[in-house]
């Protein structure tokens, strides 16, 4: 039974570019949440998708956007990249509209030069 899978594993971009990160939820899960984890910090909630809609957003600017597909997979898009966007981006999945527990993937390490 595959867990949460994320791609790519690592990504290097330059300031001003745009990036798309992808997530496939654990089998049986229908809800995807995205978190940003800066080095040495705990994950910070970006937003959550359920039934192909954004349910709630954390304290992140509109440069961060997402999408959920009918098969429950999800994308995180970040536009106009800043140096401060360098972080590990984590995807977590859960079932029945977000009920716990949430299961995390291994993340995408994004480096901005």
Partner 1 sequence: QQQVKQSPQSLIVQKGGIPIINCAYENTAFDYFPWYQQFPGKGPALLIAIRPDVSEKKEGRFTISFNKSAKQFSLHIMDSQPGDSATYFCAATREGGATNKLIFGTGTLLAVQP
Alpha carbons within 13 angstroms on the beta-carbon side of residue 51 total 5
Question: Applying CB under 8 A, which part among 11-19, 63-71, 72-80, 98-106 lies near partner 1?
Answer: 98-106
Residue burial 57-80, b: 16+ Cβ < 10 Å; e: rest: beebeeebbbebeeebbbbbebee
Using the minimum distance from each CB to partner 1, give the nearer residue, 14 or 111: 111
Residue 103: its H or E element:
strand 99-104
Beta bridge partners of 104: 92
Using the minimum distance from each CB to partner 1, give the nearer residue, 39 or 80: 39
Q: Does 90 bind partner 1 (CB under 8 A)?
A: yes
Least distance (Å) between residue 97 CB and partner 1: 8
Kindly identify the residues of this chain, within the stretch 21-80, that bind partner 1 according to CB under 8 A: 33, 35, 40-45, 48, 50, 55-56, 58
Q: Does 104 bind partner 1 (CB under 8 A)?
A: yes
Question: Can you count the helices (H) and strands (E) in the chain?
Answer: 0, 11
In the complex, the residues that contact partner 1 under the rule CB under 8 A are 4, 33, 35, 40-45, 48, 50, 55-56, 58, 90, 92, 94, 98-107
């Amino acid at each position: 039974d595959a867990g949460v899978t994320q791609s790519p594993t690592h990504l290097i971009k330059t300031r001003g570019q745009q990036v798309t990160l992808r997530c496939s939820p654990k089998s049986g899960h229908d809800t995807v949440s995205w978190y940003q984890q800066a080095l040495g910090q705990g994950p910070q909630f970006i937003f959550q998708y359920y039934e192909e809609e954004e349910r709630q957003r954390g304290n992140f600017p509109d440069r961060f956007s997402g999408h959920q597909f009918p098969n429950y997979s999800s994308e995180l898009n970040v536009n106009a990249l800043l140096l401060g966007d360098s972080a590990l981006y984590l995807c977590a999945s859960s079932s029945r509209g977000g009920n716990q527990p949430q299961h995390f993937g291994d993340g995408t390490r994004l480096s901005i030069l």
